[in-house]
């Protein structure tokens, strides 16, 4: 009797012990399936970060710090690129590698094409900032935890090829859930070609022949033709998707950024219509009857700082639903003006230049009124004897708040030439790698340092195209 009791008790306890409820280890809290465009959309949401950066704007010397002067003094220190790989790039790679995408969100080929174009575009930004970075062995998850660093040259080759491949694979039919171009594949194609043209221009010093060829390839593929083709990230007027600057200035009450003297000096003498958008009049100069003056702050100043005496960034710049123009028609026009002067393409550099400024003003102010007058002023009016400086300076004005791109163009052309060396510090020529690459990817990291800088990470070593 006892034995039966015992056996029953034990067996009831151990009955079917290794069979759990089937779904006990299935995560009920997160989806196990994702569609191609859901992944692409998530990657697109990261695009605003390409420009929304204080560091980029300090490197381009658009903004000066009104308090806690720090990053604008160009201190040594790594900057992480992990977010780009783990975030948007991995999403895009998942779409590119997927074998079971569904066509319910539009042609699979187009979903993949968008993923490839964005991957190329983001990698272009990454390599321009850091130089050699992991590319061919990156984004492979458990297949490779320690990706090697590819040379910038080979990354450029790969991006050109990837973008061309993507453009060629586009089929008719739009896709849904596209935050950037609302599924318009023609615009994606133009965007891709425009990126290629800008990349080609980056080669002007290191390999002009290749640059010329790629530039022409891009043009014949069809680049942007109006501001409607601009690659724009649109923030929303709600906290979940608001702009970085709104969070800083409005939510956090941080009046930390003033326009630099460099910027104001480049714009104020010509009554540049974009200046009232870029910044606010210095509060100290405002009276009841007077709107106030635009006063730039000396970049790198650490004493006698003020939020009253200088022009802070304007309300349009920190709007909650800010539109961030990442790649623009105006840029493409500046590029063509430069290409004409370089003899890469035929045409009239001046008309490209004028159109570039006109479209920039349209983009920033919403109107082209008075543009002609603006263009006719000496100093603004095109002067082909000084084409590189003039194009570069006006492009720098246009690229306001997209500091990293402006910094890249400065590195390539050396213009604008008026620059400040805060507390004696030169302007860095690249970003240092994140500290933890030395922990997580030691051998590849050290190999990359050895190859490029003889062993120590160096923010003053030019990247490959920066000759």
Q: What angle do CA 197, 198, 203 make, to 5 degrees?
A: 95
Indicate the residue among 388 and 425 with the shorter CB distance to another protein: 425
Indicate the residue among 133 and 259 with the shorter CB distance to another protein: 133
Query: Least distance from C-beta 202 to another protein, angstroms?
Result: 22
Taking the CA atoms of 151, 157, 162 and 167 in sequence, report the sign of the dihedral they define.
positive
Query: Least distance from C-beta 129 to another protein, angstroms?
Result: 14
Query: Least distance from C-beta 279 to another protein, angstroms?
Result: 17
Are 288 and 425 within 8 A, CB to CB?
A: no
Render the burial of 339-367: b for 16+ CB within 10 Å, e for the rest: bbbbebbeeebbebbbbbbbbbbbbbbee
d(CA 404, CA 411): 10
Indicate the residue among 302 and 367 with the shorter CB distance to another protein: 302
d(CA 246, CA 243): 5
Counting Cα atoms < 13 Å in the Cβ hemisphere of 190 gives 18
Query: Least distance from C-beta 85 to another protein, angstroms?
Result: 5
Query: Least distance from C-beta 243 to another protein, angstroms?
Result: 13
d(CA 373, CA 271): 10
Query: Least distance from C-beta 15 to another protein, angstroms?
Result: 10
d(CA 353, CA 130): 30
Query: Least distance from C-beta 451 to another protein, angstroms?
Result: 16
Alpha-carbon distance values, 330 to 111, 141, 364, 398, 454 (Å): 27, 39, 11, 8, 39
Taking the CA atoms of 44, 127, 246 and 315 in sequence, report the sign of the dihedral they define.
negative
The CA-based diameter of the chain, rounded to the nearest angstrom, is 111
Query: Least distance from C-beta 389 to another protein, angstroms?
Result: 30
Termini Cα distance of the chain: 93
Indicate the residue among 209 and 304 with the shorter CB distance to another protein: 304
d(CA 4, CA 2): 5
Are 106 and 174 within 8 A, CB to CB?
A: yes
Indicate the residue among 84 and 245 with the shorter CB distance to another protein: 84
Picking from 254, 229, 233, 375, the residue whose alpha carbon sits closest to that of residue 312 is 254
Query: Least distance from C-beta 146 to another protein, angstroms?
Result: 5
């Amino acid at each position: 009797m006892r034995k039966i009791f015992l056996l029953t008790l034990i067996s009831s306890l151990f009955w079917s012990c290794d069979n759990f409820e089937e779904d006990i280890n299935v995560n009920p809290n997160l989806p196990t399936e994702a569609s191609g465009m859901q992944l692409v959309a998530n990657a697109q949401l990261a695009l605003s970060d390409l420009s929304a950066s204080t560091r980029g704007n300090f490197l381009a010397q658009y903004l000066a710090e009104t308090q806690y002067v720090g990053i604008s003094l160009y201190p040594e220190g790594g900057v992480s690129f992990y977010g780009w790989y783990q975030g948007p790039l991995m999403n895009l790679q998942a779409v590119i590698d997927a074998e079971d995408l569904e066509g319910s969100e539009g042609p699979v080929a187009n979903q993949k094409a968008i993923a490839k174009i964005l991957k190329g575009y983001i990698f272009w930004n990454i390599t321009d900032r850091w130089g050699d970075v992991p590319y061919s062995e990156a984004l492979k998850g458990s297949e490779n935890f320690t990706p090697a660093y590819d040379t910038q040259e080979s990354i450029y080759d790969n991006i050109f090829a990837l973008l061309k491949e993507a453009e060629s694979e586009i089929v008719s039919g739009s896709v849904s859930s596209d935050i950037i171009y609302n599924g318009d594949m023609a615009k994606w194609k133009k965007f891709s070609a425009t990126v290629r043209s800008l990349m080609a221009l980056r080669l002007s010093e290191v390999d002009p022949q290749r640059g010329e060829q790629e530039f022409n390839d891009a043009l014949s593929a069809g680049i942007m033709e109006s501001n409607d083709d601009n690659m724009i990230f649109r923030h929303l007027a709600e906290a979940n998707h608001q702009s970085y600057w709104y969070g800083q200035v409005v939510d956090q009450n941080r009046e930390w950024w003033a326009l630099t003297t460099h910027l104001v000096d480049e714009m104020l003498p010509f009554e540049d219509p974009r200046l009232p958008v870029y910044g606010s009049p210095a509060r100290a100069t405002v009276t009841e009857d007077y709107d106030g003056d635009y006063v730039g702050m000396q970049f790198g100043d650490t004493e006698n700082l003020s939020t009253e005496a200088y022009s802070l960034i304007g309300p349009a710049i920190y709007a909650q639903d800010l539109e961030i123009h990442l790649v623009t028609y105006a840029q493409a026009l500046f590029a063509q003006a430069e290409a004409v002067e370089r003899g890469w393409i035929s045409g009239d550099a001046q008309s490209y230049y004028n159109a570039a400024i006109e479209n920039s003003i349209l983009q920033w102010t919403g109107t082209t009124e008075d543009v002609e007058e603006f263009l006719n002023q000496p100093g603004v009016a095109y002067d082909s004897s000084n084409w590189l400086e003039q194009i570069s300076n006006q492009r720098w004005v246009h690229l306001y708040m997209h500091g990293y791109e402006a910094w890249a163009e400065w590195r390539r052309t050396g213009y604008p030439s008026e620059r400040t060396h805060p507390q004696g510090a030169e302007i860095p020529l690249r970003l240092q790698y994140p500290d933890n690459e030395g922990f997580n990817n030691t051998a590849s990291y050290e190999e990359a340092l050895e190859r490029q800088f003889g062993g120590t990470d160096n923010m003053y070593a030019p990247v490959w195209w920066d000759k």
